[in-house]
Amino acid sequence: MNLKQDSEPQHIPVMVSEVLSYLNICPDGIYFDGTIGLGGHAKHILSRLNKKGKLIGIDRDGEALEICRKNLQNYPSPILLLQTSFDTISEILNHQGIPTVNGILLDLGLSSFQLESNTRGFSFANSGLLDMRFDPTWSKTVSDLIHDSSAEEIALIIRDFGEERHARKIAKLIKKDETICTVEALVEVIRRTTPPAHRNRIYARVFQAFRIAVNQELDKLKTFLNNFIDCLTVGGRIVIISYHSLEDRLVKHAFKNLSLNNRLSVHTKKPLTPSEDECFVNRRSKSAKLRSGERIL
């Protein structure tokens, strides 16, 4: 979806009916959306809350939060929006004097708003600087990361976070030109070092790898998965939507370990995926995998 510059940015939330079903919204409950973005899922949660209910919305992207604030301003339930990362859930709830919440949602995907930006560098299909930070005040951009890393370190990033077998060749050419700072320059390096077959997938994997690295995404997800269970009330639900195998594997193993310790009842033996109709309407939903569970102890 191409957006006109004078239009309000939009994002199509993924698997809305499934999210709401598994969260099993209690009208006067407290819900934590750790990746609220523009409020795509949040508005559906809020539509099921009454004035006693509450939504806590977290995002690292301050620009997205400002748009979200406007999108959610007409709902009667109290809403708290904070620019921070979901891995600090325990500190957030402690600071608010909230012992536990009734439900937690994480949608770990990028929004259309972020992907279509010509200034953030998230997508290989657009021009712009190699930034890729969710929070523009975060210390390092991808350009900084490339400059400060050796070819071996860059190869490990591309291999471990992008699962790309041409990682070493790509990294070697990247380090031959220390001035790489634009999307176009990185795309050209990948083009010169990889075969043409399925090259768009290679672009996507390399860009994914750098984005994960610069935002420390997997570290933050691991911290969250180690802590979230104590933030849920008994009977509270969690829903996590991931978009690549690295994330999904972490979620799967965390849920399994909590289940073995009799703390979580896993509702999704296998992850749910979007319907064919949803994938047709929203092609970016195709790689989504949803897992859910309920705290039992």
Q: What is the side-by-side order of every strand in the sheet holding 101-107?
A: 79-83, 54-59, 30-33, 101-107, 232-242, 289-295, 264-266
Q: pLDDT tens for residues 53-67?
A: 999 999 998 888 999
When mean pLDDT is compared across 91-100, 137-146, 188-197, the lowest value belongs to 137-146
pLDDT band at 9 (very low <50, low <70, confident <90, very high): low
Question: In the predicted model, is pLDDT for residue 208 greater than 60?
Answer: yes
Question: In the predicted model, is pLDDT for residue 8 greater than 70?
Answer: no
Domain ranges (residues) in the chain: 16-113+218-295, 118-216
Residue with the bigger pLDDT between 2 and 31: it is: 31
pLDDT band at 121 (very low <50, low <70, confident <90, very high): confident
Beta bridge partners of 57: 33, 81
Question: In the predicted model, is pLDDT for residue 4 greater than 60?
Answer: no
User: What value does the mean pLDDT take over residues 129-155?
Assistant: 90
pTM, 2 dp:
0.91
Q: pLDDT tens for residues 21-53?
A: 999 999 999 999 999 999 999 999 999 999 999
pLDDT band at 225 (very low <50, low <70, confident <90, very high): very high
Residue with the bigger pLDDT between 47 and 284: it is: 47
Fold designation for 118-216: DNA polymerase; domain 1 (1.10.150)
pLDDT at position 100: 97
Residue with the bigger pLDDT between 91 and 123: it is: 91
Which positions ≥6 away from 155 have C-beta within 8 Å?
167, 168, 170, 171, 172
Structure tokens at 271: 């992850």
pLDDT at position 72: 94
Indicate the average pLDDT of the chain. 91
Least Cα distance to 36 among 8, 61, 54, 10 occurs for 61
pLDDT at position 106: 97
The CB density around residue 1, as the number of other CB atoms within 10 Å, is 10
Residue range 16-113+218-295, CATH number: 3.40.50.150
Contact 207, 213 (CB under 8 A): no
